[in-house]
Amino acid sequence: MQLLFIFLVVAGGMGLSVEAGLLGPLGGEVGDLWATFSIFGVGAALTFLLMLFFSPRNSPSFFTQPSWTLLGGILGPVYVVILTVAVPIIGIAMTMIGILAGQVFKSLVIDHYGFFGAAHRKIDSKRIIALIFIIAALFLVAKG
């Protein structure tokens, strides 16, 4: 089961690279914020349709959740604007490796301290080495 989820997250990461590749040209044509809006508009419409058919009807309202849990609603558009602006300037590979470096670094911190209810997973030497390799990839691609 774990292997299936690893495959799914790798496929999701591939999808993000495709999204970044689409956002750069779209932002150049319609503007960075309009490109971001279009991505979220299409995503919101698709999510709404999925909720209509697959979401349990008795699930608790998101209005009853702590406000900090909705922070992703702010972080998502910021991320997409960064993709839209960065890709035409530094390329898809450099953008995605930079995003990955930031994600892994912050994920290690979140896991280590158990922020947001995450299970505690201590930062060990293997995780640090993995982060160093990602940072090395960032510099190698930048020099390429």
Tens digit of each residue's pLDDT (9 = 90 or more) over 75-115: 999 999 999 999 999 999 999 999 999 999 999 999 999 99
Q: Please give the Cα distance from 51 to 91 (Å, whole number).
A: 35
**Structure-block tokens of residue 111:** 């896991």
Torsion of CA 85, 87, 90, 96, to 10 degrees: 120
pTM for the model stands at 0.83
Residue 41: what pLDDT? 94
